[in-house]
């Protein structure tokens, strides 16, 4: 396929899968089963608009794999939604969950609408009707398929979904677990909003702390003073930028659909966000230089490039001009297979989306567990930990005759809040996943890149599960 042509997202995923499958030892039939989407539900339903007209809505839900239950994946509202995209995203969810050791199969949903063109009441009707259609076909439930927010959706839509599900499934005490990404008051978990961006940061930080890897690509260890470019200032891009900046990196450029800005001295994401909120654009930000096109930011000289917006933004056409040493795929599918081949030739390390942006599903897993256990994280141990730490500190001060200052005392005595435990669990997840992928990559000289190693890791886990479960009947 020519780099000039639009690249099928699902074909892109399959191509990457096939590239990795030859490094595994499983039966070809098992591999075909893993690639295939188990269930594809395309639906159309009518909705009455505020003006009295009736519109037929096109929507999808795909369950890619049930090697683990339930299936898990977001619901996006976009007029670009199509079956190919939803299938690709569902399959990536399967591999993503396997890599980060979250016991879910992959799923994804989408409604083909532009949410900006509908009133809140219309969006609520569409969301509730979509949920009822899923319930009718047994495509949603805490043990079946658990949606989450995605592009164009958020906490509000998830609250509508859980309310609709609960009304159609009276008496289900685990109803809150039918969806994640809910408001805190409706069973959501603290730390969910920043989870994907924080996961991106943890994954890249772990890569940057590996001396052999850094030596190979010609960078110093650590995050401090690394020059970072971020494309996209949505939830993921904003939080990725925030955590990199707070860790000592210098964010030299930010890009959005209206354009890109650059400042070698560094940009503060919150200041840029407020500027955009006030003016409607990131352009003309004080102290920054406007770039001719938003895609120009992708080609800047930098250490780390974070594409956190759309699919296929780095392809066979512009990949030769990318100068970053590390590309961290915060978005889903920002680099095409052609771009991957060019990165291999240029010695650019591409940290793949299929695990790097798994922060959202990891914390969704924590939310799901919270819903099933019906207790907030930290509630059982916070005070016990604080009392224990207070006693230990008192003993140490008594034995040494020295008094700890107030700042250190506060830190030592702090018992974990829910958000502390969520962030800790996410950090452990991303570090473990990064090390597993790197071990596979370094263990086999024929594996060309980190994406292929990540796929090998995912395929091995999913295939093992299928093989152990056997074939029914």
130-135: average pLDDT: 98
Those residues whose C-beta lies under 8 Å from the C-beta of residue 339, and which sit 6 or more positions away, are 314, 315, 316, 319, 322, 350
185-206: average pLDDT: 96
Q: Model confidence at 33, in pLDDT bands (50, 70, 90)? A: very high
The CA-to-CA distance between both ends of the chain, in Å, stands at: 40
Give the percent of the chain with pLDDT over 90: 91
288-317: average pLDDT: 93
What would the 3-class secondary structure string for 420-444 be? HHHHHHHHHHHHHHHHHHHHHHHHC
Q: What domains does the chain contain, in order, with CATH numbers? A: 37-186 (3.40.50.10860), 189-381+416-473 (3.40.50.720)
Instruction: Tell me how far apart the alpha carbons of residues 282 and 262 are, in angstroms, rounded to a whole number.
Output: 10
- Looking up tokens 């091995």 gives 460
- For residue 44, the tally of other CB atoms under 10 A from its CB is 10
Instruction: Tell me how far apart the alpha carbons of residues 302 and 287 are, in angstroms, rounded to a whole number.
Output: 19
What is the rounded average pLDDT for all residues in the chain? 94
Those residues whose C-beta lies under 8 Å from the C-beta of residue 349, and which sit 6 or more positions away, are 207, 213, 217, 325, 326, 327, 343, 450
pLDDT for 3: 44
> Tens digit of pLDDT for each residue in 79-92?
999 999 999 999 99
Task: Report residue 47 as tokens.
Answer: 């909705």
> Tens digit of pLDDT for each residue in 46-80?
999 999 999 999 999 999 999 999 999 999 999 99
Asked if residue 472 has pLDDT above 90, the reply is no
> Tens digit of pLDDT for each residue in 302-313?
999 999 988 889
Q: Model confidence at 2, in pLDDT bands (50, 70, 90)? A: very low
271-288: average pLDDT: 95
Torsion of CA 191, 194, 199, 204, to 10 degrees: -140
> Tens digit of pLDDT for each residue in 226-271?
999 999 998 999 999 999 999 999 999 999 989 999 999 999 999 9
Instruction: Tell me how far apart the alpha carbons of residues 250 and 31 are, in angstroms, rounded to a whole number.
Output: 43
Q: Which residues pair with 146 in a beta bridge?
A: 72
pLDDT for 471: 85
Beta pairing class for 289-291 and 304-307: unpaired
Task: Report residue 140 as tokens.
Answer: 């949603």
pLDDT for 241: 97
- Looking up tokens 């256990």 gives 373
Which pairs from 261-269 meet CB under 8 Å and 24+ separation? 261/285, 261/288, 261/289, 261/290, 261/291, 262/288, 262/289, 262/291, 262/297, 262/300, 263/287, 263/288, 263/289, 267/241, 269/230, 269/233, 269/238, 269/241, 269/242, 269/245
- For residue 400, the tally of other CB atoms under 10 A from its CB is 9
Asked if residue 362 has pLDDT above 90, the reply is yes
Sheet (strand 39-48) strand order: 39-48, 54-63, 105-111, 71-77, 145-149
Instruction: Tell me how far apart the alpha carbons of residues 217 and 303 are, in angstroms, rounded to a whole number.
Output: 10
220-224: average pLDDT: 96
Active site residue 137: no
Task: Report residue 195 as tokens.
Answer: 């989870």
Task: Report residue 473 as tokens.
Answer: 């009947």
Those residues whose C-beta lies under 8 Å from the C-beta of residue 50, and which sit 6 or more positions away, are 119, 121, 122
308-321: average pLDDT: 91
Q: Model confidence at 4, in pLDDT bands (50, 70, 90)? A: very low
Give the percent of the chain with pLDDT over 70: 99
With beta carbons less than 8 A apart as the criterion, state whether 194 and 240 touch: no
For 160-268, where are the E strands, in sequence order? Answer: 227-231, 250-256, 259-262
Q: Model confidence at 202, in pLDDT bands (50, 70, 90)? A: very high
Question: Which of 35, 108, 125, 227 is labelled catalytic?
Answer: 108
For 158-167, b where at least 16 C-beta lie within 10 A, e where not — what string?
bbbbbbbbee
What phi-psi label fits residue 470: left (phi over 0), alpha (psi between -120 and 50 degrees) or beta?
Answer: left
Least confidently predicted of 178-182, 213-217, 331-335, 391-395: 331-335
Q: Model confidence at 7, in pLDDT bands (50, 70, 90)? A: low
Asked if residue 1 has pLDDT above 80, the reply is no
With beta carbons less than 8 A apart as the criterion, state whether 102 and 365 touch: yes
């Amino acid at each position: 396929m020519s780099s000039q042509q639009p690249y099928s997202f699902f074909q892109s995923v399959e191509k990457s899968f096939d590239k990795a499958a030859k490094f595994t030892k499983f039966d070809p039939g098992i591999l075909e089963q893993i690639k295939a989407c188990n269930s594809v539900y395309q639906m159309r339903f009518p909705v009455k608009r505020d003006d009295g007209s009736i519109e037929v809505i096109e929507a999808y839900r795909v369950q890619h794999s049930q090697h683990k239950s339930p299936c898990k994946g977001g619901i996006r509202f976009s007029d670009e939604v199509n079956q190919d995209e939803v299938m690709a995203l569902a399959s990536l969810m399967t591999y993503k969950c396997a890599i980060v050791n979250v016991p879910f199969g992959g799923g994804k949903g989408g409604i083909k609408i532009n949410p900006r063109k509908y009133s809140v009441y219309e969006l609520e009707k569409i969301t509730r009707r979509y949920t009822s259609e899923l319930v009718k076909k047994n495509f949603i439930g805490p043990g079946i398929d658990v949606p989450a927010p995605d592009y164009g959706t958020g906490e509000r839509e998830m609250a509508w979904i859980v309310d609709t599900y609960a009304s159609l499934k009276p008496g289900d005490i685990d109803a809150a677990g039918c969806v994640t990404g809910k408001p805190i008051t409706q069973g959501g978990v603290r730390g969910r909003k920043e989870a994907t961006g924080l996961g991106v940061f943890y994954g890249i930080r772990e890569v940057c702390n590996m001396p052999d890897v850094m030596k190979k690509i010609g960078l110093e260890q650590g995050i401090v003073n690394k020059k970072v470019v971020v494309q996209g200032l949505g939830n993921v891009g904003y939080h990725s930028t925030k955590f990199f900046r707070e860790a000592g990196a210098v964010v030299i450029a930010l890009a959005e659909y209206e354009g890109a800005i650059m400042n070698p001295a560094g940009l503060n994401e919150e200041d840029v966000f407020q500027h955009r909120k006030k003016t409607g654009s990131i352009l003309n930000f004080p102290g920054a230089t406007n770039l001719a096109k938003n895609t120009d930011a992708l080609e800047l000289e930098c250490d780390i490039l974070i594409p956190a917006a759309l699919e296929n933004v780095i392809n066979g056409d512009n990949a030769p001009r990318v100068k970053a040493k590390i590309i961290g795929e915060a978005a889903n599918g920002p680099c095409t297979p052609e771009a991957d081949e060019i990165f291999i030739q240029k010695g650019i390390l591409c940290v793949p989306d299929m695990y790097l942006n798994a922060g959202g599903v990891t914390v969704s897993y924590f939310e799901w567990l919270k819903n099933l256990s019906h207790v907030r994280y930290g509630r059982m141990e916070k005070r016990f930990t604080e009392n224990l730490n207070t006693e230990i500190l008192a003993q140490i001060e008594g034995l040494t005759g020295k008094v700890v200052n107030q700042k250190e005392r506060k830190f030592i005595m702090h018992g974990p809040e829910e958000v502390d435990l969520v962030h800790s669990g996410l950090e452990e997840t991303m570090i473990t996943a990064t090390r597993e992928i790197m071990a596979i990559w370094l263990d086999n000289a024929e594996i060309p890149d980190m994406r292929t190693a990540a796929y090998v890791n995912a395929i091995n886990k999913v295939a093992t599960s299928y093989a152990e479960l056997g074939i029914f009947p």
